[in-house]
Amino acid sequence: QVQLVESGGGLVQAGDSLRLSCAASGRTFSSYAMTWFRQAPGKAREFVAGISRDGGSTGYADSVKGRFTVSRDNAKNTVMLQMDSLRPEDTAVYYCARPMYSSTSYSADRESIAYWGQGTQVTVAA
């Protein structure tokens, strides 16, 4: 059973930074691309950022491009999301996610996700 545990959320002011971490269980972490999603109140869960299994390729939603950076440490089974220049519209629960099948590249499609973390709340005050 795969477990994903996010940490690092909190309440910050607009313009501040936060660093989210996701710790994954299991010995096959490096075989899977990983993705971050978020869900704001009353809205659908949306893609934020993805990273290939070797960390060599990353991608971002247009709304966070240039402000967020995704990275991973396969030796520590961890994927991170560095969030800079935070805005009130970034307020959401952030989820770490892993697909069902091993793949080189990440997918932004929620339907490809088999495992979700419990989420961590990020609140950005104006």
pLDDT value for 100: 87
CA nearest to 51, candidates 36, 33, 69:
33
> For 106-121, how does the pLDDT look when each residue is reduced to its tens digit (9 = 90+)?
989 999 999 999 999 9
**Burial (Cβ within 10 Å: 0-12, 13-18, ≥19) of residue 66:** exposed
Which of 44, 19, 45, 42 has the alpha carbon at shortest distance from 97? 45
Q: Which helix (H) or strand (E) holds 67?
A: none
- When pLDDT is cut at 50, 70 and 90, the band that residue 103 belongs to is confident
The pLDDT, as a whole number, for residue 68 is 98
Burial of 38 (0-12, 13-18, 19+ CB in 10 A): buried
Contact criterion met (CB below 8 Å) for 90 and 122: yes
Q: Are 25 and 2 in contact (CB under 8 A)?
A: yes
pLDDT in tens, 3-24: 999 999 999 999 999 999 999 9
